[in-house]
């Protein structure tokens, strides 16, 4: 199967390498903990920063709808799509992948990055540090992905979105049943 380098279809932006002073309200300061294992953003884990700090923290990049945010250090392999209306900035150890090619569906790329194939590849690219593991953000754009027609990407996304919706529904049911059983105990 033909492959293409990420740098030919996407831009990759590294987040800041510091942490701002947190506030009670304001723009979101997106940390790794806010990215769930199932690829969602958990607003209960959001931190916030001042509007003044937001301006500083978004000099490199302002997250946009359908950008793919990912963790590249410490907790590796977390990916999520930035939703419509997100007002915030990247936290430490996070980067953004922004699709710039009309031949790539951002949602398909998001699902590919969550695939066993990609995770095995990333595991082999991991640099073992003395304190934390990481992948090289500088090398990331050189990594390759399979070339699949846009039509097939969209078909895959349609199926995977239905599966994700079913999983979320089942998780809500399980949470409710767990709550009910704890009330009966």
Tally the domains of the chain: 1
**Residue 135's closest CA among 105, 113, 104, 106?**
113
More confident residue, 115 or 16: 115
Range of the domain at 35: 3-148
Q: Do residues 90 and 19 lie in contact, with contact meaning Cβ atoms separated by under 8 Å? A: no
- Burial of 89 by CB count in 10 Å (0-12 exposed, 13-18 middle, 19+ buried)? buried
Q: Do residues 126 and 76 lie in contact, with contact meaning Cβ atoms separated by under 8 Å? A: yes
In a domain, 153, yes or no: no
In a domain, 185, yes or no: no
Distance of CA 134 to the CA centre of its chain: 15
d(CA 181, CA 185): 6
In a domain, 175, yes or no: no
CATH number at residue 54: 3.90.220.20
In a domain, 162, yes or no: no
In a domain, 164, yes or no: no
In a domain, 170, yes or no: no
pLDDT tens, residue by residue, 109-163: 999 999 999 999 999 998 888 888 899 999 999 999 999 999 999 999 999 999 9
pLDDT tens, residue by residue, 52-105: 999 999 999 999 999 999 999 888 889 999 999 999 999 989 999 999 999 999
In a domain, 184, yes or no: no
């Amino acid at each position: 199967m033909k492959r293409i380098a990420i740098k030919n279809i996407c831009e990759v932006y590294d987040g800041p390498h510091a942490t701002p002073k947190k506030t009670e309200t304001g723009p979101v300061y997106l940390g790794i903990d806010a990215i769930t294992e199932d690829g969602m953003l958990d607003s209960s884990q959001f931190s916030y920063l001042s509007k003044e700090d937001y301006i500083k923290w978004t000099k490199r990049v302002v997250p946009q709808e359908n950008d793919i945010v990912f963790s590249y250090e410490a907790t590796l392999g977390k990916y999520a799509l930035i939703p419509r209306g997100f007002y915030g900035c990247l936290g430490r150890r996070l980067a953004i992948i922004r699709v710039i090619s009309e031949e790539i569906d951002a949602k398909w790329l998001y699902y590919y990055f969550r695939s066993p194939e990609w995770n095995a590849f990333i595991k082999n690219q991991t640099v073992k540090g003395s304190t934390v593991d990481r992948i090289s953000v500088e090398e990331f754009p050189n990594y390759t992905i399979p070339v699949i027609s846009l039509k097939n990407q969209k078909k895959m996304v349609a199926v995977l979105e239905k599966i994700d919706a079913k999983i979320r529904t089942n998780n809500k049911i399980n949470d409710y049943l767990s709550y009910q059983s704890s009330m009966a105990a």
